[in-house]
Homo-oligomer: A and B are copies of this chain.
Amino acid sequence: MSDSGTLADIGEFGLIDRITGSLPDHPMVILGPGDDAAIIKTDTASVVISTDVMVEGRHFRKDWSTPIDIGRKAAAASLADVAAMGAVPTGVVVAFAAPADLPTAWAVSCTAGLRAEIEGAGAALIGGDVTSADAIMITVTALGDLQGRAPVLRSGAQAGDTIAIAGRIGWAAAGLAVLSRGFRSPKKLVDAHRCPAPPYEAGPAAAKGGATAMIDVSDGLIADARHIAKASNVVLAIDSALIDVPEEISAAASAFNLDPREWLLTGGDDHALLVTIKKGNPAPAGFVVIGVVEPAGDKGAGVSVDGHFVTIAGGHRHFGA
């Protein structure tokens, strides 16, 4: 079948055929696409589930990102949430809404990006829904398996625990700032906005290595550290000197006359994994220690940076409130 023309030419079932063509076998998939529902194995009597929606114009722009990047990014958000429970991603379903005049090649590339990210995280595309809409909207729901471990919640951090992080922070925010100012480079930063690179394996690794709390950094380091702090009723005391400032971010911040730490501390969308590790345990492979958990003080639970309690909101607010 040709991928010239638009979705109006191939129709709903034509698109589904292209998305689900030659799906690889996966040991956890009992039933893939094609029936009323899909079926995933759950070896240990529970299943982890997270859903995430991305909307054209809100979460991505077609003129800033390739369709492959957009597909990858849409899948990454849900997969990272599953990893942040300490689970291994298994199966994913996707709801794909798009205008009938969307070029077929764009839709096919986008769904190829979805599959690349899903399969790269070790999971399988197992089903979905396709419909027409005025704007592109991609809802990704990922399932994960805890392999018999307890889930790592946001509420388990204890005073004395080590704070550590795996994956990039600040990169997507720096890339967005570059694009917003009309530039297309440095490419490494722009690419980081277009497509995150969550450290999926670090989630289960942290769970095995004594993680007491974990979250994926989608709103920004401070905002997401605060989620752990509030849920655990502690203070996450971050030492910014322990956070490496990558040269690319330093250079871009300098060019815009900004403090690079703002991107590192408040930039979201990189889907790093932020954990607290049981006192005495070493940081698991891939994690960098960036602070220590302290008891909640006079100001209650929250986040401090270099000894200063931080009250900025941070994170994107939908609906503008």
**A interface residue numbers (CB < 8 A to B):** 6-12, 14-15, 30-31, 34-43, 45-55, 57-59, 81-82, 84-85, 87, 91, 93-95, 97, 100, 126-135, 137, 139, 141-144, 146, 151, 153-155, 214-216, 231, 317-321
- How many copies, total? 2
Note all chain B residues with C-beta closer than 8 A to A85.
Answer: 35-37, 39
B49 and A321: CB pair below 8 A? no
Closest-by-CB residue of B relative to A218 is B36
A131 and B94: CB pair below 8 A? no
With contact pairs A49-B127, A49-B143 given, residues A37 and B84 touching in the complex (Cβ less than 8 Å): yes
Which 7 pairs show the lowest CB-CB distances between chains A and B?
A: A11-B321, A37-B50, A139-B139, A53-B95, A42-B42, A12-B318, A36-B84
A93 and B50: CB pair below 8 A? yes
Interface core residue of A35, A45, A127 (most chain B CB under 10 Å)? A35
Closest-by-CB residue of B relative to A56 is B133
- Rounded to whole angstroms, the CA-CA distance of A231 and B81 in the bound complex is 36
A12-B319, A51-B128, A133-B135 given; 12 more Cβ-contact pairs under 8 Å:
A8-B319, A11-B319, A30-B46, A35-B155, A36-B81, A40-B47, A41-B46, A51-B94, A51-B127, A52-B129, A55-B131, A59-B131
Closest-by-CB residue of B relative to A151 is B39
Note all chain B residues with C-beta closer than 8 A to A94.
Answer: 51
- Rounded to whole angstroms, the CA-CA distance of A100 and B95 in the bound complex is 22
